[in-house]
Amino acid sequence: MLQPCNRPSSMKKNNNIVCVLLLALLMLSSAALRAQEDIKTDNINPYRVSVRSTLYGVSLLNNLDTYLSGYNYTGAAVYLNHETMRKAHTGSYDWKFQTVTDGLLGLTSLHSTSQLTILLSRSWSAYHTFRVGERLQLLAGAQIQVAGGVLYIPSNGNNLVSVKLRTALAASIMAIYRFSVAERECIARWQIDVPLAGIMFSPQFGQSYYEIFGLGDTDGIVKFSNPVNSPSWRHTLSLDVPVGRNTLRVAYIADLYQSRVNSLRTHLYSHSFALGFSRTIYKVKNNDPIKACSPY
């Protein structure tokens, strides 16, 4: 299907949105800066350690949902990411458990038509750790994903809203590499998550939500997803850099979701650039958390 080109006025509008979002990001990041205490005890259990980070960022969006429109909508969004990583130990094996929560609120447009985008997701991962030398760790594991959201075009004549709900079991791999710059230990990380099987909600082509929820016509609205009808993936690149008494994290997160079910096509592409601070929480005998600078 041929798609019309965006007008220059639309591009200027998106550029202005990005500038405002970047300014808000800098303000939030500066507010997140906080001093952290030094470790003054050796009474730390290494398997009761968790790394927590909160990132604020901006996202570039590209949405297509043929339930609402046959054209791509592009724009920008504000982005929030919160992650917890903790260690565990079973026998002679080291494990890591990760929980990630993402939120995105964006505005996309095509000519004079606007689309509101709200997306939320949460994932739980378990990894087995393979150490390669002193600096490199390779992780492989499984992940449970839950995601939902809403696309809303107020100017549409019939279908105004498209609801997105899905859950999946995914494979996840990660590489963590430590290196030093000016006697400061930095950590680079790469991660990719690929959904393998799950279920998703999708109306039939031309079916309204009134038919589903008002008249009870629910045949075929729950579909099994797999890499054939929903080839999707997510990858993350992050860098942790000690800054003063804090650890700054800079990240790029690409979330690329696609589906083709019930004669409907969807893609939700987001490229997020985020920064924030990470901290390591240690548990000691008196159960008081001690904050430290170096993650992992």
* pLDDT given at position 4: 45
What pLDDT score was predicted for residue 177?
Answer: 95
pLDDT of res. 258: 95
Contact 76, 18 (CB under 8 A): yes
- Per-residue burial over 278-291, b if 16 or more Cβ lie within 10 Å, else e, is bbbebbeeeeeebb
Say what the pTM is.
0.79
* CB proximity list for 294: less than 8 A, separation 6 or greater: 185, 242, 247, 280
CA separation (Å) from 142 to 53, 57, 110, 146, 215?
Answer: 21, 27, 38, 14, 39
Indicate the SS3 state at residue 138.
strand
Report which of 55, 62, 56 is spatially closest to residue 78, judged by C-alpha positions. 56
Would you give per-residue pLDDT tens digits along the chain (296 residues)?
444 444 445 555 556 666 666 666 555 555 444 434 444 444 445 556 788 999 999 999 999 999 998 899 999 999 999 999 988 766 666 788 999 999 999 999 998 899 999 999 999 999 998 889 889 999 999 999 999 999 999 988 778 999 999 999 999 999 999 998 888 889 999 999 999 999 999 998 888 888 888 888 888 899 999 999 999 999 999 999 988 878 899 999 999 999 999 999 999 999 999 999 988 776 655 555 554 434 45
What pLDDT was estimated at residue 87?
A: 81
Q: How much is the pLDDT for 129?
A: 87
Angle at CA 239, nearest 5°, toward 235 and 242? 160
Tokens of 226: 């797999």
Residues 283 and 270 sit within 8 Å (Cβ to Cβ): no
